[in-house]
């Protein structure tokens, strides 16, 4: 392990925004543990641009303005070099305004794919046209799904993702139920008792963390999973575990961050994680893997461009920057990281990867 000094010039402060409360809170322990592994791996080499990473975690489960205000206070110190986050798009938009392109901000969660993203935000997670839409097309082709029911939390990502799906369908009327609920909802009977639900072929779930787990338990109790598959781009192994194996029948999940135990890298990453975190560590999940990759992607960007200057990084990304590193994201198209997306089927409290999405 290299020896780093502790002066401001020899360290780099990274803010990690993850929810420690609210429906997304169930993923926080996994994300924090995975980020810790990535930081130690980078620090055990040369750090970022020769500087040791110091990590500060911010609770992203609060109101967006609260999170943004705390980020702004840290930025005012002049010591923050970069930001990564797994949290809602509502928080991202508030934080991006506070950051105002002063430091790179790597957003590791799926997003809504709007063209008006603020400069300096690098989208590590996937947009609907590369993940949810092709997953729905796969289900149409392979399972005969034509009509959809949509349930989502009531904020920008679910609504815009549903709009992307609607635009991709043969007719806009192929979404026959579209229902939104507040974050933290515990009773989904209004959706589940809607007679029009029985006219759908599948359900698209666009909710966060514990809300999805609760919904899947209630959906399972109706007996519908045997005849009506569900699709979500926002389920990880913690959500499967929280819902319970019986609630995960006929559940399909689209993600760019599955850890494939059939590959050498997948097995190696899990082994490194458990050596680092111990036998009883939180699960290394698709969500926490995205935060792990965001830290490594930041390091690769810095090594490739020789800087953490936002304008330099964005200019390089806009030219089709190609990257070589441990992350699955191999480059950028504009501010969107690009890499493979996959479709998996829930198998108890784990996933079986069944196809690559195009």
Mean pLDDT value across residues 53-71: 97
Band of pLDDT at residue 96, cut at 50, 70 and 90: very high
Residue 349 has pLDDT above 70, yes or no: yes
- pLDDT number for residue 320: 73
Q: pTM of this prediction?
A: 0.94
- pLDDT tens column, 294-312: 999 999 999 999 999 999 9
pLDDT tens for 13-34 read: 999 999 999 999 999 999 999 9
61: nearest Cα among 36, 34, 87: 87
CA gap 269, 20 in Å, rounded: 24
CA distance 28 to 208: 12
What share of the chain in percent tops pLDDT 70?
A: 96
Per residue in 241-271, pLDDT (tens digit) is 999 999 999 999 999 999 988 889 899 999 9
CA angle 353, 30, 356 (to 5 degrees): 20
| pLDDT, mean over the chain | 93
Token pair in block for residue 19: 């929810």
Q: What are phi and psi of 42, to 5 degrees?
A: -70, -45
197, 111 Cβ separation under 8 angstroms: no
């Amino acid at each position: 392990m290299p020896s780093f000094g502790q002066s401001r010039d020899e360290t780099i402060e990274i803010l990690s925004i993850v929810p420690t409360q609210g429906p997304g809170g169930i993923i926080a322990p996994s994300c924090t543990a995975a980020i810790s592994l990535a930081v130690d791996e980078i620090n055990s080499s040369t750090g970022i641009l020769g500087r040791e990473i110091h990590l500060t975690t911010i609770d992203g489960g609060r109101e967006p303005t609260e999170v943004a205000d705390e980020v702004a206070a840290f930025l005012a110190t002049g010591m923050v070099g970069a930001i990564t986050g797994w949290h809602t798009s509502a928080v991202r938009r508030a934080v991006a305004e506070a950051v105002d392109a002063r430091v790179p901000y790597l957003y590791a969660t799926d997003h809504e794919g709007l063209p008006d993203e603020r400069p300096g935000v690098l989208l590590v997670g996937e947009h609907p046209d590369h993940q949810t839409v092709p997953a729905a097309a796969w289900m149409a082709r392979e399972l005969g799904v034509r009509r959809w029911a949509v349930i989502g939390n009531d904020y920008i990502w679910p609504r815009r993702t549903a709009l992307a799906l609607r635009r991709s369908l043969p007719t806009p009327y192929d979404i026959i139920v579209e229902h939104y609920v507040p974050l933290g909802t515990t009773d989904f009977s209004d959706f589940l008792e809607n007679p029009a639900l029985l006219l759908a072929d599948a359900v698209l779930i666009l909710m966060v963390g514990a809300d999805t787990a609760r919904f899947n338990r209630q959906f399972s109790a109706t007996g519908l999973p045997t005849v009506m598959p569900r699709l979500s781009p926002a389920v990880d192994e913690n959500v499967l575990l929280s819902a319970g194996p019986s609630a995960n029948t006929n559940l399909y999940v689209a993600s760019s961050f599955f850890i494939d135990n059939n590959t050498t890298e997948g097995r190696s990453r899990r082994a490194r994680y458990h050596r680092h975190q111990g036998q009883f560590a939180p699960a290394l999940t698709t969500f926490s893997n995205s935060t792990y990759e965001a830290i490594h992607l930041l390091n690769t960007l810095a090594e490739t461009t020789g800087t953490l200057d936002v304008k330099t990084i964005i200019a390089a990304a806009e030219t089709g920057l190609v990257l070589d590193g441990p992350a699955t994201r191999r480059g950028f198209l504009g501010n969107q990281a690009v890499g493979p997306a996959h479709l998996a089927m829930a198998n108890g409290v784990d996933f079986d990867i069944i196809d690559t999405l195009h």
